[in-house]
Amino acid sequence: MLKIAITQVWYDNHPDIHGSYGPFMYGLNHSYPALFDRAGLLPYAILPVKNTSPEDILNGFDMLVLTGGGDPSPCLFGREDQGSRNPRPYRSSWDIKLYHAARELDIPILGICLGIQVIGIARGTALIQDIESLVETADFHDGSAREPVLHPVTLFPGTRLHSLLGDEITVSSFHHQVLEEVPPGFVISAESSDGLIEGIESEDGRVIGVQWHPERDSTGVPILEYMIRIAGGK
C-alpha cells in the first residue's frame, strides 16, 4: 500500500493556553481520510517540526497531498492585502517548503484548494485575493458559505485531468481566492464558467492542482488513481 503525506489545517489556539499547548492545533475533516481509504491509500499526517528538513520528512513517502485551509498571507507573493481573510504566513510557508522538497525528491503532488494556491505561490504566481470584490464577472465562488458550492468546470482537451474526468464536470468548491495566472512550468487544465483557473498540472505530469474539493465530490478517486499510477503503485 502506498504511503502518502498529507498536510494539516492549522487552527489558532487561544493565547491563554499558548504556554501549555503552543500557538496551533492541527487537523483535517474526515472527508479526506475517507477518500484515501476508497482509493486504497495509507495517509500520514505531516506536522511542522524545526529540527528535521522537509526532505527528510518526505523521504520514503510515495505522494504528497497539499490540503485546503485558510488564506495565505499576501506577503508570500509580494502583494498588499486586497481582501484576504485573516491571512497567515506560517502554514503556507511550511507547505511551500514541502512542495519544493517533494519536487526535489520527485514525489507526485496533489494540491487541493489552498494546495493549488500554494503550488502557484511556490512557483512565483500571485493570487486574486477576493474573487467577489475583484472579478466583476465572477460566479459560483463563495468562501464564506457554510456549505460548499456545486458548479461546473470545463476541462481542456489534451490535459491529464481531461483524460480522467471528461469535458465538463460538477465540482464542490469552498474558496474566495484563486490563482491570478498559470505558474511557470504548468498548463491550465480546468476553468470555471467565469474564466477563472480551476485546475493546473505540471508539464511533466507529476503535479496536479485543483481549486475545488475532490474529497467532497466524485472527482477524487479518478484523480488519485492517476496519482497512484505515476507513483508506481499500479
Active-site annotation holder among 141, 176, 201, 215: 215
Instruction: Specify whether 113 is catalytic.
Output: yes
Count of structural domains within the chain: 1
Active-site annotation holder among 151, 162, 176, 213: 213
Q: What is the pLDDT of residues 160-208, one digit of tens each?
A: 999 999 999 999 988 899 999 999 999 999 999 889 999 999 999 999 9
Q: Which residues of the chain have pLDDT under 50?
A: none
What residue ranges in 8-57 does DSSP mark as E strands? Answer: 9-12, 24-27, 42-46
Residue appearing with cell numbers 474573487: 131
CATH at residue 68: 3.40.50.880
Instruction: Specify whether 30 is catalytic.
Output: no
Among 213, 206, 137, 203, residue whose Cα is nearest residue 175 = 213
Q: What is the pLDDT of residue 199?
A: 98
Alpha-carbon gap, residue 25 to 3, rounded angstroms: 23
Instruction: Specify whether 176 is catalytic.
Output: no
Its domain, for residue 173, covers 3-230
Active-site annotation holder among 113, 141, 151, 198: 113
Q: What is the pLDDT of residue 200?
A: 98
